[in-house]
Structures are given as C-alpha cells and as structure tokens.
Amino acid sequence: MATDYYGVLGLKQGASDSEIKRAYRKMARDLHPDVNPDDSAKERFQQVSRAYEALTDPEKRRIVDLGGDPFDTGGGRGGGNPFGNAAGFGGLGDIMDAFFGGQGGGRGPRSRTREGEDALIRVDLDLDETVFGTTTEITVDTAVLCDVCTGAGTAPGTHPETCSTCNGRGEVQSVQRSFLGQVIASRPCPTCQATGQVIPSPCGQCGGDGRVRARRDIPVKIPAGVEDGMRIRLAGYGEVGPGGGPAGDLYVEVHERPHDVFTRDGEDLHCRVTLPMTAAALGTSLKLETLEGAEDLDIRPGTQSGSVLTLRAHGAPRLRGTGRGNLLVHLDVQTPTRLDDRQSELLRELAALRNEDLTQGTEANHGGLFSRVRDAFNGR
C-alpha cells in the first residue's frame, strides 16, 4: 500500500505548496537531529523529509495524487503503481511509455548534485540581549563540503565513470508481458541510482558523498527588539547537499531566558514594586533599576494598590517601524501584618481622626446581606 505522504505531514490531499512547506518546517524544527538526538526522532525526521520531497516535486506529487508511491521503483513492493503491479511498471513514467511507445530514454539521468537541507538551532539569550541586540557565537554540527574532493566524491586523480548497467541513461529497460501484450518498462538504474555514473574509487574522507559532518562556530547578529520564538535566517549556512550541492539555510531560533525583575509583552516591559502603606498614603520617590540604569519614580500621595506608572520609551525597540515600547510599573501597597501595641494605638487614633468606624464595613456588609435575603423571602 502506498505511503500517505500528506498524512505524514498532517495535511489533506490537495494542500497548497505554502501549507506543505509550513507543515514541513514546523515538524522538522522539532525532529531535526541537531535539535532532537533521539533515534525515533531521527527516523521520523527522515519520513517527514521524504514526504516533503514527494510533495514538492511536481512529477512525484502527481504520482502521489494518483495513488502511487514515487519512491517505489522496484515494481514489486505494492502501492507504487496505481494501476496494479501485474504489468510490472515501475511508476507513472513507465505507464506513459507503455501506452505511447516511449523507450524510457527521454527522462535522462538525474544529477548527483542536490540541494542541501535547512538546519535549525536554538540560542538562549538574556532579556537585555533581546531588547538591545547582541552578537553571539553558535556552534553548529552539520554537513559541509568535503575539502579533499571538493564535492566530486572521487579519490584524488580519479573521475566518475559511465555506468555499465544503464550506459549512462540513468534507467534500465525490460520487456514484460501484460494484458496489453509485450511492453517496454523502464525503471531507475539500481547500480548508479539513476545518475548515469558510478564512482569506482570513492573519496576516502567522504565515501563518495561529497560532504562530511563537521563542527563550526558561526557569529550571529541578534537585532534589537527580537522576541522569544523568532527565527533569524542565515542563508547558505545549512547543510551542504549530496554531491557538494548548494547548502540550505540555517535558522537560529531565539529563546529568551526569564528575568528576575522584568517580564515582557511584545514591545512593553512590566515589573512590580511593593510600597509600604505609609509611603503610598503620604507619597514618596524612589529609584528603580531599569535595563538602562536607575530611574526616579514619583509616588503621589494616596496611591492605591494596583496603580500603574508608565515610563515612556523604556521598553524594547520595534522591529518594524521606529520607536520603542514602554516600561509599566505595577504598584502593590503592602498592608502591615504584625503591629505592636503602640503601632495599633496610632492607627486607631488615625482612624478616629478620619472618622472611620473600624467595624462599620463588616457590620454593614453583613447587615446588607441579611437584609437582602430577608427582603427576598418577604417578597419585597
């Protein structure tokens, strides 16, 4: 049975190219071996990459939409041929050759050189680094161009040779019987993997792949105002492709470490300041240590708990446009919990001077509650 490549990416048949790309990048971000070293994640990443290749290549996707498997070239595993395997076809191209008299030579060999995969790496930054920007160095373990064969895959002094199995065509043909009579079926050459060439003396360093895995340090410029979860694209810093193909891109995903004092909401910063009850009542001034230094806060007399002071343009810069966000200072008024006799006496004197009845609130609330209950029962 053919693999459901749409299902592998969590999509329905007929998904757009942008939906396929978005689903692939989302899954590859979590499953890439550079991020998730688990063997199961590695296998799943290969499945996702295979599905992405099948659905982004127009010819392969046409085979998938017909119910076949573009990677099933053996003709005997089932599911690779939407018309059944009785005819021994290897794929949609073989069916077209059989019906229209093709000899299988029109498609030609495929290139050994293919584009490399994108890579993803996470970088942890402090709040001040995301707000003001910084340059950090990351270490990436990825595929790079083999410096011995420079991507050719051959040992020094040697060259690829024409495949003797397919004579350089990249595919082999066979005459088979079917309900149509005798037909010529074509399939990719198993000896050269459809490239039309073989490497009799592979490079000793890369084994003929044209690339090797290496660890390298890359400086990354973090723009001011970048937010948690954002990605920075470094074009051409991903994995070099097979055969020394062009490298993919490297995506650096920013993760912002929690700060002891400030929290962030987009371009705005937030913090909490606790005031004694007396300071809130009488008013005061205090110094607040911000990310840029100390700032004076003017606390007005009678400030209530929950009040917010706004320091304009003390937040993060806007990535798009100009200006900066604000710093919002949330004030909490602290009520004393332990009073000695003298302190209690002074507070009672204050309450008396303000004509405040210390029992009024409780009695009035209970009285109001019972009054409403009583009125409800009496039908008032």
Alpha-carbon gap, residue 290 to 307, rounded angstroms: 19
DSSP string, 284-350: EEEEEEETTEEEEEEE-TTPPTT-EEEETT-SPBPSSSS-B--EEEEEEEEPPS---HHHHHHHHHH
- Compute the distance between CA of residue 301 and CA of residue 2 in angstroms, rounded to an integer: 75
189 is in an annotated binding site: yes
Q: Measured between alpha carbons, how far is residue 342 from residues 276, 280, 345 in Å? A: 18, 21, 5
Contact, 293 vs 200, CB < 8 A?
Answer: no
DSSP state of 245: B
Is 271 flagged in the annotation as binding? no
Task: Please provide the size of the chain in residues.
Answer: 380
Can you tell me the distance from the alpha carbon of 187 to that of 243, in angstroms, rounded to the nearest whole number?
A: 22
**C-alpha closest to that of 172 among 142, 194, 144:** 194
| Interior/surface letters 2-22, b for 16+ CB within 10 angstroms, e for the rest | bbebbebbebeeebeeeebee
Alpha-helix runs per DSSP H in 136-284: 277-282
User: Got the DSSP string for 164-185?
Assistant: TTTTTSSEEEEEEEETTEEEEE
Q: Would you say 173 and 283 are in contact if contact means Cβ atoms under 8 Å apart?
A: no
Annotated binding site for Zn(2+): which residue ranges?
A: 146, 149, 163, 166, 189, 192, 203, 206
- Can you say which residues are annotated as belonging to the binding site? 146, 149, 163, 166, 189, 192, 203, 206
